[in-house]
C-alpha cells in the first residue's frame, strides 16, 4: 500500500512516509538537548549539550525516483534540493553503502532522505536511519571525551568512517546517533570501529581463548605470582625456582604480560593488580579458580558439544561420573574444588549489608555449606540467632566455622528435598543453590522452605541472574558452564526467577546488585 502527499509527484510506502513525517516534526521541534535526550533515553550529560550541535536527521526510504521525493518533502512543508550521491557507513564493520541523498532545510537543520542503490529491508532501513550531531571543533581530546560520555550513557559503537572532510562515528541508543567531527581523526576512528581486519581479529581472539586460560592456569600451577610477591625477578630466577626451561617460560611470561597479568621490564617480571590475584596468600585469591578452570573444568568443556547434542552432562561424558561422585573418588580434585569455590565467594562479605537484618530474630541458611555466609550474617547482626541446614557430611565443617558464635549458632542435618526445613525464622537464605537444579527440583526446595516460613517472612536468594543486556557476559558464560558440569543446572533470567518464586508462594520484592553480576533477590512469603 502507498500513501502520497498532496502535490507530490513521487510516492512512498505508508510506513516510510509516516517515519519521514515524524522525522520532520522531530527536527522542527527539538533543540540539541531535547534531541540528545531522545537518543540517550534521559537527561543528557551537560558536556554533550555543550560540545555537540544537532545537525540533521536521516531517514532511509525504499527505492523510489529520488527526484520525486522533493515533492514528498514539499508536501510536508520542507524545501528540498536536487538529489546527489552520498555514502553512509553501515554496521559495526564499517561497510559503506551507496545512496542518493535528498536534503531538505528545516530551519538551521536538515532532514535527509537516503535512497539506497541496493535493496534494504524495511527493518534495515529503520535501523540505519539516524540523528546526527556536529562537534564544534576538531579537538581530538574533546572528541574522545564525547565518545566516552556516550558509551557511559549506555550507547554502543556502531560503525564509522571518513569521507574526505569529516569523521563520522555512529552509536546505537534508542535510535542510531552520528557524531560528525571536522577533519580526519584516524586514532578515534580506529578505537571506535577497530582495525580494518577487526572482525577476523575478534574471531581469532574467540578461538584462542583456550590459550589464555591455559597460560593463566600454568602460572597458577607454577606459583609465579607467589614468587613475585616480594618484587620483580628475572627469567632465569623464575626458571630456576620453578624448574622450568628458561626460553619456554619467557614465552609464556611475555604472553601473560601482553594479557595484563604481568608487567615486563626487559628480562624482569613483576605483578600487575590483575596478576596479584593469582597469589595464594591474598584476600580474594583466584589461584585455585585459575587451576580448576584451566584443569578439571577445562577438560570437562571438551564435552560441550556432547551436552548440546544429547542433553547429557559434559562432565560425566569426559570423566565417567557426575562431579560430586568424581570428587568423592578423587580427594585431590575435591580439595581443589573446595578451594576454587571459596575463591569464588569473595562477594559474600557484601551480602549481609544488603539483607535489612533485624536487630533480633533467627536466620536459617538452607544448604549453607561451609557456613561462611551465615558466619558473616551473624557477625553483622550480633542480636541474631543462626541455623545452618545441610546434609550430614557437610555440617561438620560448618560447625567449626560457626563455633565462634557460641550458642547463637547451631547446625541441623537434613536434605532440603526431603526433610523439613527449620521453621519459624525471620530470614531464610538460599545462596547459589537454585542454579544447580531444574525448575522442578527448585520448586521442591522452595515449597519446603515456604512451608517453614510465616507469611511476610523474607527469603534472600543469591544467584547470578541473566540480564537483558547482551554485553553482560558472565551470567551467559556461567549458564553454559552449569550445563556442561551439572546434570540439571543453569542460570535464570530475572523473570524466570520471579515466575519460579511466584509459583511456590513468594513474591520477588527487590533485586540488589553484587560484584561480578551476582545479585541478592529479596522475596516475601505470600499466602
**Domain spans, the chain:** 2-194, 208-294, 304-343, 346-525
Write out the three cell numbers for 455: 507469611
Question: What is the rounded CA–CA span in Å between residue 369 and residue 223?
Answer: 29
Residue 3 CB contacts under 8 Å (≥ 6 apart), including other chains: 11, 12, 13, 14, 17, 18
CATH 1.10.10.10 fits 208-294, yes or no: yes
Query: Residue 242: which pLDDT band, with cuts at 50, 70 and 90?
Result: very high
> Could you report the per-residue pLDDT of 88-140, keeping only the tens digit for each?
655 544 566 777 888 899 988 999 888 887 777 878 888 888 999 999 877 89
Res 4 pLDDT > 80:
no
Helix axes 246-258, 235-242, angle to 10 degrees: 110
CB-count burial class (<10 Å; 0-12, 13-18, 19+) for 241: middle
Count of CB atoms within 10 A of residue 455's CB? 10
Q: What is the CA radius of gyration of the chain?
A: 30
State the average pLDDT for the chain.
90
Buried b (16+ CB within 10 A) or exposed e, 322-345: ebeebbeeeeebeebbebbbbbbb
Which residue in the list 326, 435, 481, 497 is annotated as catalytic?
Answer: 435
Is residue 428 helix, strand or coil? strand
Q: Which fold has domain 2-194?
A: 2,3-Dihydroxybiphenyl 1,2-Dioxygenase; domain 1 (3.10.180)
The DSSP-derived string for 225-263 is HHHTTTS-EEHHHHHHHHT--HHHHHHHHHHHHHTTSEE
pLDDT at 6: 43
pLDDT at 92: 46
Q: Has residue 68 got a pLDDT over 80? A: no
Predicted confidence at residue 63, as pLDDT, reads 62
Phi, psi of 92 (to 5 degrees): -65, -30
Q: Which of 69-73, 298-302, 308-312 has the lowest mean pLDDT?
A: 69-73
- How far the first Cα of the chain sits from its last, in Å, is 54
Q: Does the annotation count 435 as an active-site position?
A: yes
16 vs 26: CA distance, rounded Å:
15
User: Could you give the CA distance from residue 250 to residue 266 in angstroms, rounded to a whole number?
Assistant: 11
How far, in Å, are 106, 353, 518 from residue 512 at the CA level?
47, 10, 9
Q: Indicate if the pLDDT at residue 436 is higher than 70.
A: yes
Count Cβ atoms within 10 A of the Cβ of residue 318 and give its class: 0-12 exposed, 13-18 middle, 19 or more buried.
Answer: buried
For residue 329, the Cα-to-chain-centroid distance in whole angstroms is 36
- Residue 296: which residues within 8 A CB-CB, separation 6 or more? 333, 336, 337
Confidence of residue 64 (pLDDT cuts 50, 70, 90): low
The side-by-side arrangement of strands in the sheet containing 268-271 is 233-234, 268-271, 262-265
346-525 CATH pick, 3.20.20.140, 3.20.20.20, 3.40.50.150, 3.40.50.720: 3.40.50.150
Given this model, what pLDDT does residue 330 score? 94
Amino acid at each position: 500500500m502507498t500513501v502520497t502527499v498532496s502535490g507530490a509527484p513521487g510516492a512512498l510506502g505508508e510506513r516510510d512516509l509516516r517515519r519521514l513525517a515524524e522525522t520532520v516534526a522531530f527536527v522542527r521541534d527539538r533543540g540539541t538537548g531535547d534531541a540528545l535526550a531522545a537518543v540517550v533515553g534521559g537527561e543528557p550529560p551537560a558536556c554533550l549539550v555543550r560540545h555537540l550541535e544537532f545537525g540533521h536527521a536521516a531517514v532511509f526510504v525504499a527505492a523510489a525516483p529520488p527526484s520525486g521525493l522533493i515533492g514528498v518533502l514539499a508536501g510536508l512543508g520542507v524545501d528540498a534540493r536536487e538529489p546527489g550521491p552520498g555514502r553512509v557507513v553501515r554496521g559495526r564493520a564499517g561497510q559503506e553503502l551507496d545512496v542518493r541523498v535528498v536534503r531538505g532545510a528545516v530551519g538551521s537543520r536538515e532532514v535527509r532522505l537516503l535512497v539506497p542503490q541496493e535493496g534494504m529491508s524495511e527493518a534495515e532501513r529503520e535501523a540505519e536511519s539516524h540523528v546526527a550531531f556536529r562537534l564544534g571543533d576538531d579537538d581530538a581530546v574533546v572528541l574522545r571525551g564525547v565518545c566516552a560520555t556516550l558509551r557511559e550513557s549506555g550507547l554502543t559503537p556502531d560503525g564509522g568512517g571518513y569521507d574526505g572532510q569529516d569523521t563520522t562515528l555512529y552509536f546505537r541508543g534508542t535510535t542510531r546517533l552520528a557524531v560528525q567531527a571536522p577533519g580526519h581523526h584516524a586514532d578515534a576512528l580506529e578505537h571506535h570501529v577497530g582495525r580494518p581486519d577487526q572482525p577476523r581479529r575478534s574471531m581469532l581472539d574467540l578461538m584462542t581463548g583456550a590459550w589464555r586460560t591455559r597460560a593463566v592456569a600454568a602460572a597458577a600451577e607454577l606459583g609465579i605470582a607467589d614468587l613475585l610477591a616480594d618484587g620483580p625477578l628475572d627469567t632465569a630466577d623464575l626458571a630456576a625456582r620453578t624448574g622450568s626451561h628458561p626460553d619456554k617460560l619467557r614465552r609464556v611470561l611475555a604472553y601473560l604480560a601482553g594479557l595484563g597479568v604481568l608487567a615486563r621490564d626487559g628480562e624482569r617480571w613483576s605483578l600487575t593488580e590483575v596478576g596479584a590475584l593469582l597469589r595464594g596468600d591474598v584476600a580474594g585469591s583466584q589461584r585455585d579458580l585459575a587451576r580448576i578452570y584451566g584443569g578439571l573444568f577445562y577438560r570437562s568443556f571438551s564435552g560441550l558439544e556432547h551436552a548440546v547434542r544429547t542433553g547429557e552432562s559434559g562432565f560425566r561424558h569426559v570423566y565417567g561420573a557426575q562431579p560430586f561422585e568424581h570428587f568423592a573418588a578423587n580427594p585431590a580434585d575435591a580439595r581443589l574444588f573446595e578451594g576454587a569455590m571459596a575463591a569464588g565467594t569473595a562477594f559474600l562479605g557484601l551480602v549481609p549489608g544488603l539483607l535489612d537484618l533485624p536487630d533480633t530474630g533467627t536466620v536459617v541458611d538452607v544448604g549453607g555449606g561451609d557456613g561462611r555466609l551465615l558466619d558473616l550474617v551473624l557477625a553483622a547482626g550480633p542480636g541474631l540467632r543462626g541455623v545452618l541446614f545441610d546434609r550430614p557430611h557437610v555440617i561438620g565443617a560448618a560447625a567449626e566455622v560457626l563455633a565462634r558464635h557460641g550458642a547463637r549458632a547451631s547446625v541441623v542435618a537434613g536434605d532440603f528435598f526431603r526433610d523439613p526445613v527449620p521453621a519459624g525464622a525471620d530470614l531464610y537464605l538460599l545462596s547459589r543453590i537454585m542454579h544447580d537444579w531444574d525448575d522442578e527440583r527448585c520448586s521442591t526446595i522452595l515449597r519446603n522452605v515456604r512451608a517453614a516460613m510465616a507469611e511476610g517472612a523474607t527469603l534472600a536468594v543469591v544467584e547470578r541472574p541473566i540480564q537483558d543486556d547482551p554485553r553482560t557476559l558472565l551470567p551467559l558464560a556461567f549458564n553454559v558452564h552449569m550445563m556442561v558440569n551439572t546434570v540439571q543446572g543453569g542460570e535464570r533470567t530475572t523473570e524466570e526467577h520471579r515466575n519460579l518464586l511466584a509459583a511456590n508462594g513468594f513474591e520477588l520484592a527487590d533485586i540488589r546488585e553484587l560484584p561480578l553480576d551476582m545479585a541478592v533477590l529479596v522475596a516475601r512469603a505470600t499466602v
